[in-house]
Amino acid sequence: MPRIIPVLDLDRLEQGPSELRTFLFDLRTAARDVGFFYLSGHGITQPEIDAVLGAARGFFALPETDKLAIEMVKSPQFRGYTRAGGELTKGKADWREQLDIGVERATISQRPGVPAWTRLQGPNQWPAALPDLKPALLAWQAKATDVAIRLLKAFALSLDQPEDAFDPIYHGEPN
């Protein structure tokens, strides 16, 4: 029997206790039995989606020299551009180009007693040739983070845990 990818409407979280219970059941079932799902009702509008896709297309359409100006190897936080074939997986070149960004936070000085992974915290690199990219991607990042947090709280509730059960994982300092 073919499986159907479930579509879950995140707006159902706000539609009263009965709808909340049904949504949480559907979320748990989709995650456990199918392994993934489509999410609607997340609050990100089509114009916002189009804007971030347009910003990404604008970046990848830049001349190679502009993209290489923010090459990942120039960032101790491993943020920036990687050209097609510039990354290996199991010894084989990945034939895709990418721009890695993260949450912009202050750099943590590395000294004895500070976990090594904290060096990943810091600024992103942004192309001088495309000044609108930073606000577009950071706005998208904030919207997507809000959706992820709402969904994470729903996962906690679907597992009969307090809504804030996963807060230590994503609040405050990175881990």
How buried is 121 (Cβ within 10 angstroms: 0-12 exposed, 13-18 middle, 19+ buried)?
middle
Report long-range pairs for 23-31 (Cβ below 8 Å, ≥24 apart): 23/154, 24/154, 24/157, 24/158, 25/158, 27/154, 27/155, 27/158, 28/158, 28/159, 30/6, 31/155, 31/158
Write down the pLDDT at residue 172.
65
For residues 136 and 127, the answer to whether their CB atoms sit within 8 Å is no
163-173: pLDDT as tens digits: 999 998 877 66
Record the pTM: 0.85
Q: Does 2 have pLDDT greater than 70?
A: no
d(CA 133, CA 140): 11
Residue 71 CA to residue 42 CA, distance in Å, equals 33
Which amino acid does the sequence have at 54?
G
pLDDT, residue 114, reads 85
Per-domain residue ranges for the chain?
42-170
- pLDDT of 173 reads 63
Q: The domain 42-170: what is its CATH number?
A: 2.60.120.330
Cα distance between residue 116 and residue 130, in whole Å: 32
Please name the residues in contact with 86: beta carbons below 8 A apart, sequence gap of 6 or more.
93, 94, 97
Q: How far is CA 42 from the centre of its chain?
A: 14
